[in-house]
Amino acid sequence: MADSGNSDAFVAFERVQKSYDGETLVVKDLNLSMPKGEFLTMLGPSGSGKTTCLMMLAGFETATHGDILLDGVSINNIPPHKRGIGMVFQNYALFPHMTIAENLSFPLEVRKMGKSEREEKVKRALDMVEMGAFGGRRPAQLSGGQQQRVALARALVFEPELVLMDEPLGALDKQLREKMQFEITHLAHELGITTVYVTHDQTEALTMSDRVAVFNDGRIQQLAPPDLLYEKPENSFVAQFIGENNTLEGVVTEMKGDTCVVRLDDGEELDATPINVTSVGERTRVSIRPERVEVDKNRLQEGAHTLKAEVLEFIYMGDIFRTRLRVAGNDEFIIKTRNAPDQVRLEPGAQIEIGWLPEDCRALDAS
């Protein structure tokens, strides 16, 4: 599913494996290539191998097998300090005994840069993240968001072409996080730097990235732009992991090219788009996004499939209504409807009919 390395990729993983104990692989056969200037997010649950990949790229872990290429050159044997990769750490790792300006000056000093040039670059980097007035402070005197900005400025001040970010917004509150997401993406695109961003927060991944690599179990499950990832998940892990998702289990009874027929476990039959089911008789998990389910008969589009449902719970969430239904024996079937003037509010206990288009109903693997 991950694309194989090609010659003009800026960053490439080629058949990379990593094991810590010699018994289990944390990263299994990773292939990935990134063009220059891309903002790529590695998304996955903890233990999925995404941070290990980042650490291998930064040089703090060595690949057990395979090559990591930077600008066409294998960096397996280059120590971290010679890779010239900027990195933002989870807890910022700002040196507590140095002032902000000294922190930013550090990478320039070790590069033996002259004093005036250093000062100028530090000033420019601080201004870039709107922290120009804080050069004389110490990290402990700054708020979390300010530290985050400084950490970003420090990773960028020596003008690396590649910047790695390891869950940099994890410690911030929701509002600040959203603001910083926006700022980081802007900065990255403005400066044209290639960014590898690691997170377990799917919203962050979807809103910030050019492409998202969904990790699970040491493999990339799907590598795609955010919209494709959300709307066309290629397996049930991705469908479950990204966004909210309803699943109905059943068996494929008929394959008709672009569509297939699935008989659900309660006997009901429905049309679905086959994604990674290939043969009749295969067990499958049908996935439907909550916002693609229609409850108003009059608005059902042509070709839509309908099912009976019982309303179990109605939750008012302000901008949307979230309704829990029992559909084909599944008590956790969620639908989301927009809070519009003409929208019906479903009463618990009501028997209704719901429907969706076969294109929105994807038959995925049952695992």
Partner 1 sequence: MSNSEPMLAADGTPLKRSLARALRREKMRALMLIAPLLLFILLTFILPVADMLYRSVDNKIVSEILPRTVVALQDWDADSGELPDEAVFAAMAADLQQAAQEKTHTKVGVRLNYEQPGISSLFRKSGRKAKKWNVEEGGPWKEQLIEVHKGWGDPEVWRTIQTYSPRVTQGYYLNAVDMQVGTNGAEMRPENEQIYGILFWRTMKMSLIITLSCIALGYPVAWLLANLPARHANLLMILVLLPFWTSLLVRTSAWKIMLQQQGVINDVLVWIGFVADDSRLVMINNQFGTIVAMTHILLPFMILPMYSVMQTIPPSYLRAAKSLGATNWTAFWRVYFPQSIPGIGAGSILVFILAIGYYITPALVGGTTGTFISNRIAFHISSSLNWGLAAALGAILLAVVLILYWAYDKIVGIDNVKLG
User: Could you list the residues that contact partner 1 (CB under 8 A)?
Assistant: 58-60, 79-87, 89-91, 93, 95-97, 106-107, 110-111, 154-155, 158, 164
Rounded alpha-carbon distances, angstroms, from residue 317 to 11, 174, 322, 336: 42, 18, 7, 10
- Name the minimum Å distance from CB 108 to partner 1: 9
Query: How many Å apart are CA 330 and CA 342, to the nearest integer?
Result: 28
- DSSP code of residue 302: T
Rounded alpha-carbon distances, angstroms, from residue 365 to 126, 192, 274, 276, 291: 49, 39, 10, 6, 22
Rounded alpha-carbon distances, angstroms, from residue 74 to 12, 17, 19, 145, 226: 9, 15, 20, 36, 29
Q: Which of residues 37 and 84 has its CB atom nearest to partner 1 in the complex?
A: 84
- Name the minimum Å distance from CB 346 to partner 1: 50
Q: Which of residues 85 and 252 has its CB atom nearest to partner 1 in the complex?
A: 85
- Name the minimum Å distance from CB 51 to partner 1: 12
Query: Environment class of residue 332 by beta-carbon count within 10 Å: exposed (0-12), middle (13-18) or buried (19+)?
Result: exposed
- Whole-angstrom Cα Rg for the chain: 24
Q: Which of residues 135 and 290 has its CB atom nearest to partner 1 in the complex?
A: 135
- Name the minimum Å distance from CB 43 to partner 1: 21
CB 231 within 8 A of CB 288: no
Q: Which of residues 164 and 361 has its CB atom nearest to partner 1 in the complex?
A: 164
Tokens of 269: 């039959």
CB 49 within 8 A of CB 107: no
Query: How many Å apart are CA 134 and CA 100, to the nearest integer?
Result: 7
- Name the minimum Å distance from CB 88 to partner 1: 9
Q: Which of residues 44 and 86 has its CB atom nearest to partner 1 in the complex?
A: 86
Nearest CA to 199 among 143, 157, 242? 242
Q: Which of residues 60 and 182 has its CB atom nearest to partner 1 in the complex?
A: 60
Q: Which of residues 157 and 252 has its CB atom nearest to partner 1 in the complex?
A: 157
Q: Which of residues 2 and 93 has its CB atom nearest to partner 1 in the complex?
A: 93
- Name the minimum Å distance from CB 175 to partner 1: 26
Tokens of 275: 């994604």
> CB 317: neighbour CB atoms within 10 A?
9
Q: Which of residues 107 and 250 has its CB atom nearest to partner 1 in the complex?
A: 107
- Name the minimum Å distance from CB 340 to partner 1: 48
CB 50 within 8 A of CB 44: yes
Q: Which of residues 97 and 338 has its CB atom nearest to partner 1 in the complex?
A: 97
- DSSP code of residue 56: H
Tokens of 187: 């900065």
CB 208 within 8 A of CB 185: yes
- Name the minimum Å distance from CB 255 to partner 1: 51
CB 169 within 8 A of CB 204: yes
- Name the minimum Å distance from CB 87 to partner 1: 4
- Name the minimum Å distance from CB 113 to partner 1: 10
Cross-strand pairs, 247: 287
